[in-house]
Structure 1
């Protein structure tokens, strides 16, 4: 190195006593992307054998790099395909729902003044059903993306499964025999009770569709003494309950099993399914810090197992507390903050119907002008996203600093905002997702005022 004239030798090489070196190119599809080098303190250390070894190693590294790049390209293509499926499926389903809503409202608008009241009610009911289906579709999408706001509590599996099975016996094909077995020592699970019931219902409906000539549907729950291969690393430490739903239906070939949890993937005919059922189940269970296992083969039925955590010693929220909408105190003074004019009007109408006294603002800045130390508001009802100005969460904090006894009810149509607010907000704040009905608003108000 000290006598090398063809290129500059870094001083560190000389300081380290290096006197010989060997380098080979590192290539990717014929393009040189780097070099593999070795150095030694011994003169003439590297010969033909070392050169061949280093060339083989460079070739192996190049092959590994090509494989990694190919896998990344494939994963990217699969992600784009999933996005395309989501976009197309959402557009199709929502356009159908909007057609129902828009069509019924247009007919209602054009009805003559002397039209029978029953005709008006039928049109309104059809539009309401379509709007509820839209909200359910959004909920399934949020569950698939694991961005749904969950309210985990200690859920008694026995108390959940038996009423569910009774309901299924009345509503599913009478040729399907339904059985439930819950181990005597089965502990509760930590999950959102309503979403767990919806997940089991989704699985049961899929099972029904796989048993066109009848069959058997069984629910089994017990503590998971031994987890399947691969799930322990996914789940981590802790105790888990396995809720297994098994059917004697047609079963799934391997190609269908691999795609069973993909959004909008369905083997059902047109109009019989959205393809969101199992993907919503998967998203809910993963968000609940659990796992899903699927066992199926053609002609041998299907078993879907949900592994859900057993509650620890942490404080748990009570299970869905039923609150009578009539529990809203009459004359409750509410400050409404909502930047969308039409949503604000809906909230106003709901609150007036509930007997509340209301003041309305379109921004947090306007609301702060009314929230003085002498104001007598009982409740702040605010959207989280309020346009370009201050967010509803910041407004709520300032409001409670000025009026410590003020109840806070935040609402949003963005699930991510509710998740963030849930992590940041005090325990006495209530979070209400949009869309909401008048009864849902009333129950939320009753809970937060009573807290």
Structure 2
């Protein structure tokens, strides 16, 4: 004890001696260390900001470059006269292209004399000579690839913000100069982006050409900027032309900055990001002033507080770890419960369907079965397969993994056409009120899935009203999705379809579970619990939302939101059943890895007069085509196969044999659900032989050739 006391006294004595000298020495040392640290931190921030600005600019110019390539492919080898003749169609394509690129003001196609053949702004193109513009003159003598011009002002009669041109030479067969493809880019697009990311005091961003012309800058100034090629900044950049970090005084505003710059890959463009050195010094002074104010007493107090905080933090971490383990156990149990409910529901419904199929098959095997009963059992099997396909479709809809077939249609008209079917479903004691919209209500979605969703909502409303009440269906507009502020909103707004009932309402404890698959409050045998899950999945996969408002005893309102689209669609005609079409010797290459499905398909096609050849995978299919693709009039392939998928096979066939049509088939594929069928005909499993024969009859190249021959004669 005494030794400890002596040590404490000695320590106090040393602390008294050091109380004057040590703080001063520590302050000087801390100042030097802090300055180096703050400089390094500022450099890292500059490098990070430069990474962000460089990646943004690179993506913008690459996107514009791809758009110019797309324009080039559209008009490749097309004479000027044909371009003018197709001006309206090309104008719409350019307009759609510009609409999808917020950084682009307009897109132009010029002839070899500098006159606009077509643009994205107006039809017809103006009779103005643009041959004096830099984005045109740069391509006259040679093909220099992508050219990025200086900032320009619109030429009358056009008005608006300044722009700079990104242009390429029009392709020609003999390599001669045929004109220019050009996109006008907003500098303010970059400046707005820099303003969003440059929130630190003293932040600086710039986008400029290799010759010193500044295209965009933050902070923004109201004059054009061109750096001197022999100035100090140009000399520093010339020493390290690809990238660097320098301290310079801007000749534009006289402010000294710590500046990082980097060149954009293959483009003659530099991106710069920096901080004012005064802002860096201000950080250092702020840090050191805090040390100066608090000094040694604050350090001692801080140490004590940190010790107490460490002890408390260790205790809190221990408690948090225990709580996290309990939460993980609870989540695991909930996942298992949800998985059990899902698998149990699927097993229950599919066992019911399989029971019908098995019973019908057993009865069909009985001898001396009457023809009428045999047809009834066959119809029962067919109907059950359809119900099973619908059940699978509802599960895929909830999981947002169904392959949608979007088309533009009028929601108001579709709801009006559904009213008669819904009236039959809900019964005569339920009054149906339809409230349409005065504005066009066009959406680009899967019309069949939309109709299924509305019917599912209506059937749930009927059950909630117990067959008596009022069902109100209203179509209107919404500027945004409900409760989705952080999400990007659709530029044209949304079409909102609300279905209101006067039923019993939904209790609050069940409101959050109504979209779960197989969750239902109905009695056994009165519902699968998949109707609302299909609505939920369809809305989400279509880029929309479904909202529910309900009060117990007063009814519920289900509102389906779908992104609105510009333009108009064609009226849909209800599908009708059609008989199978005779193949008349049409040759089909069937690619199917499932042997039973493959044999069924080839046998069925043979019965209809098709010449079908079955192979088990994509590799064998390509080998068959390599020996003579002319032997086949069409290829019918499954999507999901080991090795090369059906989509990859179809794309390879399109490359090697572009005249050979391909039909895809699949029960489910995540590639189809996310990216579509890539322009190929798609037949969903399970399919009937009638459906397959109609598809093959429509696209087989022999039929196409015969129709063309008959048309020409």
Normalised to the residue count of structure 1, the TM-score between the two structures is 0.81
Q: What is the correspondence of 1:357-396 to structure 2 with a 5 Å cutoff? A: 357-372=611-626, 373=628, 375-387=630-642, 389-396=643-650
Structure 1 residue corresponding to 2:335, chosen from 69, 79, 84 = 79
In 2, Cα distance between equivalents of 1:201 and 1:321: 16
- Tell me the residue number matched to 2:416: 162
In 2, Cα distance between equivalents of 1:321 and 1:353: 29
- Tell me the residue number matched to 1:432: 683
- Tell me the residue number matched to 1:7: none
Q: Secondary structure at the match of 2:560?
A: strand
Q: Secondary structure at the match of 1:406?
A: coil
Shift of 1:71: 4.6
Shift of 1:361: 1.7
In 2, Cα distance between equivalents of 1:217 and 1:321: 24
Q: What is the correspondence of 1:98-177 to structure 2 with a 5 Å cutoff? A: 98-109=354-365, 111-112=366-367, 114-177=368-431
Shift of 1:416: 2.0
Q: What is the correspondence of 1:225-244 to structure 2 with a 5 Å cutoff? A: 225=479, 227-228=481-482, 230-234=483-487, 236-238=489-491, 239-244=493-498
- Tell me the residue number matched to 2:542: 288
Aligned residues: 409
Shift of 1:116: 1.6
Shift of 1:134: 0.8
Structure 1 residue corresponding to 2:307, chosen from 51, 54, 67 = 51
- Tell me the residue number matched to 2:188: none
In 2, Cα distance between equivalents of 1:352 and 1:138: 29
Q: Over alpha carbons, which structure has the higher Rg?
A: 2
In 2, Cα distance between equivalents of 1:382 and 1:226: 41
Does structure 2 conserve the Cα–Cα contact (< 8 Å) formed by 1:385 and 1:391? Answer: yes
Per-residue deviation, residues 207-265 of structure 1 (Å, max 9, x unmatched): 0101115000111111114643x233346343111110110001011011121111111
- Tell me the residue number matched to 1:181: 435
- Tell me the residue number matched to 2:276: none
Q: Secondary structure at the match of 1:371?
A: helix
Q: Secondary structure at the match of 2:416?
A: helix
Cα 1:308/1:70, change in 2 over 3 Å: farther
Cα 1:374/1:136, change in 2 over 3 Å: closer
In 1, Cα distance between equivalents of 2:636 and 2:336: 39
- Tell me the residue number matched to 1:34: none
In 2, Cα distance between equivalents of 1:68 and 1:189: 45
Q: Which has the higher contact order (CA 8 A, sep 6+)?
A: 1
Shift of 1:357: 2.4
- Tell me the residue number matched to 2:693: 442
Shift of 1:16: 5.5
Normalised to the residue count of structure 2, the TM-score between the two structures is 0.53
Cα 1:41/1:336, change in 2 over 3 Å: farther
In 2, Cα distance between equivalents of 1:375 and 1:163: 46
Shift of 1:177: 0.4
In 2, Cα distance between equivalents of 1:374 and 1:225: 53
In 1, Cα distance between equivalents of 2:652 and 2:570: 26
In 2, Cα distance between equivalents of 1:193 and 1:232: 27
Cα 1:351/1:63, change in 2 over 3 Å: same
RMSD: 3.2
